[in-house]
Amino acid sequence: MERKNPENELKKAHDLIKTLAEEIDYKNHKLSEMELSCKGVIHELTGEINVKNHSLLQLEQRYQEGLATVRWLEKETGLMRQEFGKEIRNLESANIKLTDKVEYQRKELHKLTKELEECTTQYRLENESLMNEIHKMKGNLQTQDLMGSSNNLNAKIDSLRKELKEKEEALDDMEILIGNLITKESISNQELKDAHEESIRGLQEMLNYRTTFAIKRMGEINHEAFQEVCLLKFVNEDWKEKAAVLCSLWQEYLKDGQWHPFKKEIVKGQLQEVINDDDEKLKGLRNEYGGVAYEAVKTALLELNEYNPSGRYATPVVWNRKEGRRASLKEIMQYVIKQLKSHKRKRMPLP
């Protein structure tokens, strides 16, 4: 049996220990690196967790704020709905009151006009009767003054003078009554005129070419009629300028209070003013520029005679384009209320 060398064994053991020590150091080093790496990862993960926790807290805070905002908006929306509903009800109530007021004023105006006509007729008849009686009494007084001055005669003269004074006072009272009725009629007419003018001012920005109503200037010549004529008549010239000049010229003619191309005729049982087709100026227009321009001027003349015969200038009115007539105040108020409701619905925030 071979005998082992103790030195070799010791050296091997020493080498093994050294190797194991180096391996342990290496593994300790690796372990330290892994520990450092883990600490870094843990630190990063902790940081990310903290960031996410912070973000989560912010999101939760925003959620709570958003929830509070939603609740506030719901509350405000409810209040706004109540306010809008109240406002609409107030507007509807005001519309009803205004409509009733306008209708009442119309009835009052009709009543006053009728009373004025009756009073005027009565005044004329009573005035004629009173004037006849006054002349008769004055004649009697003059005759009786010439006949003598007995007591009976003087008493009769005094009675006649007293009766004459009463008749004259009654005549004065009748004149005052008629004056009051004329004043009331004038005030009612002015109130209706003011209401209509106010409606026109309020509708200026609400109306356009697509709406049922429009602001139409009654008594203003339709310039398109002259453009149509001049387009054919002045082919080689500036027909637009010619049309503008002609339209402006005839609009000035319409303003002339001395020119009144109308005649009176019975139309549907009533005496009315109609266009006098034999008027020299109108005949000249028709002969030179044709029926289209003539009809445009004729229409403007009829409108002026109806809406502003004294002023002889174009007057704006609210026009119902669908039915081709002037809109009533009731229609205007109903349209305004409808537009306000539509506008409120568009502006109202969603819950």
Question: Model confidence over 316-343: pLDDT tens digits?
Answer: 888 888 888 888 878 877 887 777 777 6
Whether pLDDT at 282 is above 80: yes
Domain boundaries, the chain: 216-339
**Residue range 61-76: mean pLDDT, rounded:** 84
Least confident among 183-192, 247-256, 270-279, 317-326: 183-192
| Distance (Å, whole) CA 296 – CA 250 | 10
| Distance (Å, whole) CA 213 – CA 123 | 44
Yes or no: say if 170 and 183 are a contact pair by the CB < 8 Å rule: no
Task: Name which residue leads in pLDDT, 182 or 243.
Answer: 243
Q: Say what the pLDDT of residue 41 is.
A: 79
Whether pLDDT at 350 is above 50: no
Q: Say what the pLDDT of residue 100 is.
A: 65
CA distances for 105 relative to 75, 111, 151, 202, 220, angstroms: 44, 9, 58, 21, 29
Whether pLDDT at 256 is above 70: yes
Whether pLDDT at 178 is above 90: no
Q: Say what the pLDDT of residue 221 is.
A: 93
Least confident among 21-35, 197-211, 212-226: 197-211
Residues in CB range of 279: below 8 A, 6 or more apart: 261
pLDDT in tens, 106-115: 666 667 667 6
Question: How confident is residue 152, by pLDDT bands cut at 50, 70 and 90?
Answer: low
Instruction: Evaluate if pTM is beyond 0.75.
Output: no
Q: Say what the pLDDT of residue 105 is.
A: 64
Instruction: Tell me which residue of 150, 98, 171, 146 sits closest to 334, measured CA to CA.
Output: 98
Whether pLDDT at 268 is above 80: yes
**324 Rama class: left (phi>0) / alpha (psi -120 to 50) / beta:** left
**Residue range 144-154: mean pLDDT, rounded:** 53
Q: Which long-range contacts (CB under 8 A, 24 or more apart) does 275-278 make?
A: 275/301, 275/302
**Other Cβ atoms closer than 10 A to 115:** 16
**What sign does the dihedral 277-278-283-287 (CA atoms) show?**
positive
Q: Residue with structure tokens 């194991």? A: 20
Whether pLDDT at 351 is above 70: no
Yes or no: say if 302 and 308 are a contact pair by the CB < 8 Å rule: no
Residues in CB range of 217: below 8 A, 6 or more apart: 314, 315, 316
Yes or no: say if 220 and 314 are a contact pair by the CB < 8 Å rule: yes
Whether pLDDT at 213 is above 60: yes
Least confident among 76-90, 103-117, 245-259: 103-117
Q: Say what the pLDDT of residue 23 is.
A: 83
pLDDT in tens, 29-55: 888 888 787 777 788 888 888 888 888
Q: Say what the pLDDT of residue 146 is.
A: 47
SS3 at position 290: helix
Yes or no: say if 171 and 183 are a contact pair by the CB < 8 Å rule: no
| Distance (Å, whole) CA 304 – CA 313 | 7
